Structure 1
């Protein structure tokens, strides 16, 4: 019997905040600052923000402001500004072992893509702060994939189309820390949808929304993929 080619899972799509990047609660801090700048009470909205971690932030604000596009856009800009200021203050760091895991995945011959629900300007600020500009082949935000963030599968499918790393969506691996990451992976058809426990949601929530595996952190991902049957 031939040995399965485990390198067939050659496209790895990783979330950033909470999965590869430890932001120490900066999303909630930035949201609070944005709400206050618009004269809103963040306490009335924070539960929804927590429940929708991983979703495109403009989508969150559209819901919170009842479809008022102008106000949602203002809130999103205020959020991105506040988050960028916190990043500039050195309030983020890699999840322990994340950079090493990405390097190991690349050494295994896999293509790694980083995705986020933030706008491009914020994603770039994070990459610059961590010195990760050259870490992976491709980084994607919602505007790079039809404008729709998670839980839609668009960013995963954009990674599939842009990299050409695999010829079957079942050979994609998606990893993230939120329910919306799991839904995005499932809806894309990814063969491995791994939840990690370093971010927003716990194991029951990750499994409920489609996680095929739950890991303590992304540092465990290379070993999981290496052992997973092709």
Structure 2
């Protein structure tokens, strides 16, 4: 490898131009609303609260935080009709909880997004929820105009995390970066991390404000672990390496 090519690759990795941020657990604090909404979905499918089946399914929901919710319900309930019923009940229940004012920004998240944008970087918000739920959260927080692009799995061909599709869709749609190594991906689950790794992002960070811990982040291939997304601007100011 020539010196010029080596320098080019190093520059791409250190010069983050596009930042792809997860929502719930990363930039948005929802206080465990996913589990509450899951209870509604389980009830819709006749899963008895307190039963061994309910407990087993809840463990899976916790383990797969960050994955596309319809994918989770396909695994839990088998056929597509039942999965869609569960997903519809889940999204409605979560939306109702959002409407009740039960979501808030992670402390420092909005300020971090604004600082990243102010430094010339493009910020995209992604989620494993359906578009209707994502829009409800954005509206509740007054974030509709905070970033130029928000993505849910349906916006990237239907596959959510841990597939890299939403990261790559952000890369293609924004044209903010010339190389995937100029992309940073940040989330609170191993699925967020894995999606960033699979996309080839130059920086992939787990944050300790949500579902998964340091061991899960490192096992998925995180380049960094942060206490919060609020620490991201300072990391990028130091060169990200």
- TM range, normalised to the smaller chain? over 0.9
Q: Does 1:26 align with 2:37?
A: no
Is residue 2:54 matched to residue 1:47?
A: no
Matched residues in 2 for 1:168 and 1:11: separation? 10
Q: Based on CA coordinates, which of the two structures has the bigger radius of gyration?
A: 2
Q: Structure 1 residues 54 and 109 mapped into 2: Cα distance closer, same or farther (>3 Å)?
A: same
What TM-score do you get using the length of structure 2 for normalisation?
0.91
Match of 1:35 among 19, 22, 42: 42
Q: Partners of 1:123 and 1:152 in 2: how far apart? A: 19
For residue 5 of structure 1, report the CA deviation from its aligned partner. 8.9
How far off its partner does 1:38 sit? 2.0
Q: Could you say what secondary structure the match of 1:121 adopts?
A: helix
Alignment of 1:64 onto 2:71 = no
How far has the Cα of 1:225 moved from its partner?
1.2
2:124 to 110, 113, 134: 113
1:56-135 map, 5 Å:
56-66=68-78, 68-135=79-146
What secondary structure is seen at the aligned counterpart in 2 of 1:175?
Answer: strand
Q: In structure 2, how many angstroms separate the alpha carbons of the residues matched to 1:183 and 1:48?
A: 18
- Structure 1: runs of 5+ lacking an equivalent: none
**Do the aligned residues in 2 keep the contact of 1:6 with 1:227 (CA within 8 Å)?**
no
Q: Deviations over 1:119-177 (max 9, x none)?
A: 00000000000000000010000000010000000000000000000010011000000
- Give every structure 1 segment of 4 or more consecutive aligned residues whose post-TM-superposition deviation is greater than 6 Å: 4-7
| 1:44 shift after superposition | 2.9
Structure 1 residue 217 corresponds to structure 2 residue 228:
yes
* Contact preservation (8 Å) 2:184, 2:204: yes
Does the CA-based 8 Å contact 2:14-2:240 persist in structure 1? no
Q: Structure 1: how far apart are the matches of 2:64 and 2:34?
A: 11
Aligned length: 226
**1:13 alignment counterpart:** 20
Counterpart of 1:165 (choices 176, 191, 204) is 176
In 2, the alpha carbon distance for the partners of 1:52 and 1:6 equals 29
Which has the higher mean CA deviation after the structures are superposed, 79-88 or 36-45? Answer: 36-45
